[in-house]
Amino acid sequence: MERAIGRLLPVALFSVVVPAYNVQAYLRAAIMSVLEQDFDDVEVVAVDDCSPDNSGLIIDELAARDPRVRPVHLAENAGLGGARNAGVAASTGDYILFLDGDDTLTPGSLSAIADRLLTNDRPELCVYNYARTWWDGRVAVSWGAEQLAALSAGTFRPREHKKLFNLLPIACNKVYRRDLIERLDAHFGEGFYEDVPFTYRILTQAETAVTLNRVVLDYRQRRESGSILRTPSPKHFDVFMQYDKVFEQFERDGVSPELRRHVYDIMVNHYVTIISKPDRIAKAQRQHFFDEAKKSARKHWRDDIPGENTASAIRGRLLRDGTYSSFVAYQRTDKARRRTKRAIGKVYWPTRRTVRKARAVGRMVYPLLRLMPIDDNLVVFSEYWGTGYGCNPRAIFERLPEVAPHLVPVWVISEEKGQSLPPGTKQVRPTHWRRWPYFARAKYFVNNVNFPGTYVKRPGQVHIQTMHGTPLKLVGLDVLDSSAASVAVDPVREPTRSEGRVVAHTREQVLSEFEKLLTRSDRWDYALSSNPYSTETWSHAYPCRYEWLEYGYPRNDALVRASAEDTAAARATLGIPDGVTTVLYAPTFREAPGDVSVRIDVARVTEQLPDDVVLIVRAHHTATAGDQVRSLIKQGRVIDGSSVPDILTCYLAADVLLTDYSSVMFDYALLDRPIVIYADDWVTYRETRGVYFDLLAEPPGRVARNEGELIEILRDGRYADASSRTLRDAFRARFCVFDRGDAAEAVIRRVMMPGSPTAQG
């Protein structure tokens, strides 16, 4: 492949610059983590920084085996910054990544980055996530996931998002377009913390950027004192020189006062972090470091912009106006505060355990209750772990009075959601002791996920697993060998999400979770399916003994039977005026830490659409729409689809469905209306979550890979053209098979009314 970059050379899309100095124990793994990617359009520029160990020999050995490795040997030690500069000069790729010789790239990273760049018109910068990894297997994902997720909708200017500057200012969590580095003449200086001025120059001057909320970099935390930043040394005083460069460059570039003040606060916190670490500043040097920090804080202070962060403002005043003694007193007070917080925690958690023990008394009574006769007329309903009133269980419940009025339903549901139930309906909280008599004596159990493991099924009790959608992503045992196994073991168990720190699961722990999954699934007597594909998929995902009821999904009965009057009523409920086209945006959730459900810039998309097109936004039930969407709803620019209890109203009101990988596409297809797929992160989602089929090869309609394509599809109406119709017909032929509009009645008659003919014969 040849690309013009000032000259014609056979070049790669990516150049990965790997500086090497005393990293012989890790260098091979670092380089191989690039070469073994499922992406070949890459070169590795490995720079031997005159290393005294065997790093240079390892580089030459790998270069002899793989032509993608380009060795560079420096005659003199140039330091980390100099080695990186030499690597950039020797590289030829369109984009440049920096990978330290003791770190690695995670599998599939380059494919995900390339997809993100190429579907967003090749932005100048891509910021991605990293995880610290320790020798003992511990893994901690950077807290920056939330910021990366918040900016994942499309391209943006980094300088317009101050929180992005809070991320660790390192070079290795970004990929840079070569012409950006050339335009800015950006290079690394000498000394410790050389990443700081380089990073802030890039962030303030890049015009187009995207984020990738994915762990690309495994940032190794060596057991020995291998990191220069974790070694006591006078070189840590270099940090003052680096921030001098930052603010000098800010003056030349005309950086806004607000952003300048924000970076000032970051600088202050950086100084406090360094002086607080005994493995960085020796005790005898701390007074001197404080004095130099005071000079720097005064030098770069401006009082024209008030501070926003109270803690940073206190530290800034302490550095500018305080003494070393006052700083030490502040540090001791802050340390005492943290110690007190931990002490409170030591009291809180045992107290919480005591409360749990009190709840356990109910479990002690449960075995006795199970000795009582089963009530053949009692039906226990639940949906999504007691958090809602909807889906297939609700549809079956609402048909009971007409089909089987002798049956008595009771819902296991939260107090808030219980208010949605019809007046007089029996209900019990998911954790209340009153649930035990129902678990012990009910004849029928209906749920779209699993009941808790504490529920022990009795002989004679009947469990109906309604499922909650046609699966695109891997489920059940099919997740076992995927990268999502530790966080997505069971889609019919309440999901848990990391808030930043993720401890690696051992194989034994994962297998134990799957054993519990199968134990819960062994309670199923019947499972519902809406198409042959689902029957096949669920069968190997949950290999247990249950009978398939291929009646379709009860929640979809209303879609199959929908009339023009139903559509008009739904539009009236949402306040949709006549004569407008409504687009329902209903995305799924992401399991990556910090990731968001709403991934498009709703304001931008809305502004670009014709006046007669209205957007309905309904976030996933485990997520929120976000501040931007809530603001637009208040302004009346979009319709709040999450405000109605049942998504059915949104389905009926919408002329077009816009989704990503959510199972709503399979339900909405029953209406035979246009569907648009927004797949901006398909490569990452497919790899990290795992999918059963290639949605982009078999979509239900038009596919957009970025916001520009999405806006064009919605604006010119191609979502309803002949090509889209052909795709939708094929999709419906595969997935809209069993739904006939009478699934709820068929389930009731087949399972709860023995001897009665089913509605479907």
The ranges assigned to domains in the chain are 2-226, 370-555, 562-735
CATH fold for domain 562-735:
Rossmann fold (3.40.50)
Q: Which of 380-384, 471-475, 488-492 has the lowest mean pLDDT?
A: 488-492
Nearest Cα to 727, choosing from 664, 655, 665, 650?
665
Distance CA 601, CA 159 (A): 18
| Lowest mean pLDDT across 85-94, 605-614, 658-667 | 605-614
Shared fold status for 370-555 and 562-735: yes
What is the pLDDT, as a whole number, of residue 496?
A: 41
For 569, what's the count of Cα atoms within 13 Å in the CB-facing half-sphere? 7
pLDDT of 487 reads: 44
Report residue 492's pLDDT band, with 50, 70 and 90 as the boundaries.
very low
CA distances from 688 to 103, 215, 659 (A): 21, 10, 19
Residue 471: pLDDT band with limits 50, 70, 90: very high
In three-state form (DSSP H/G/I as H, E/B as E, the rest C), the secondary structure along 478-533 is HHCCCCCCCCCCCCCCCCCCCCCEEECCCHHHHHHHHHHHHHHHCCCCEEECCCHH
CB atoms under 10 Å from CB of 539, counted, come to 15
User: What integer is the mean pLDDT of 5-19?
Assistant: 72
Please say if the pLDDT value at position 499 is more than 50.
Answer: no
474's tokens: 């891997």
Amino acid letter, 222: R
User: Per residue in 388-401, pLDDT tens?
Assistant: 898 999 999 999 99
pLDDT, one tens digit per residue, over 421-438 is 999 999 999 988 889 999
CATH topology classification for 2-226: Spore Coat Polysaccharide Biosynthesis Protein SpsA; Chain A (3.90.550)
DSSP-assigned letters across all residues of 462-483: EEEE--SS---B--GGGGTTST
Q: What band does 8 get if pLDDT is binned at 50, 70 and 90? A: very low
Q: Write down the pLDDT at residue 700.
A: 97
Proportion of the chain above pLDDT 70, given as a percent: 87
Averaged confidence pLDDT in the chain: 86
Give residue 224's pLDDT: 52
For the ranges 27-31, 147-151, 317-321, 328-332, the maximum mean pLDDT occurs at: 27-31
Segments in 310-375 forming alpha helices (H): 310-321, 324-369
DSSP classification of residue 95: E
pLDDT higher than 90, residue 405: yes
Find the helix or strand (DSSP H, E) in which 676 lies.
strand 675-678
pLDDT of residue 388: 87
Contacts of 305 (CB under 8 A, 6+ apart): 257, 258, 260, 261
Q: Is 616 exposed, middle or buried (0-12, 13-18, 19+ CB in 10 A)?
A: buried
Taking the C-alpha atoms of residue 620 and residue 353, their distance in angstroms, rounded to an integer, is: 32
- Phi, psi for 128 (deg, rounded to 5): -125, 175
N-to-C CA span, the chain: 63
Higher pLDDT, 628 or 626: 628
Distance CA(411)–CA(9), nearest Å, equals 68
Average pLDDT over residues 481-495: 47
Lowest mean pLDDT among 100-114, 137-151, 262-276, 511-525: 137-151
Looking at the domain 370-555, which fold is it? Rossmann fold (3.40.50)
- The SS3 assignment for 242 reads helix
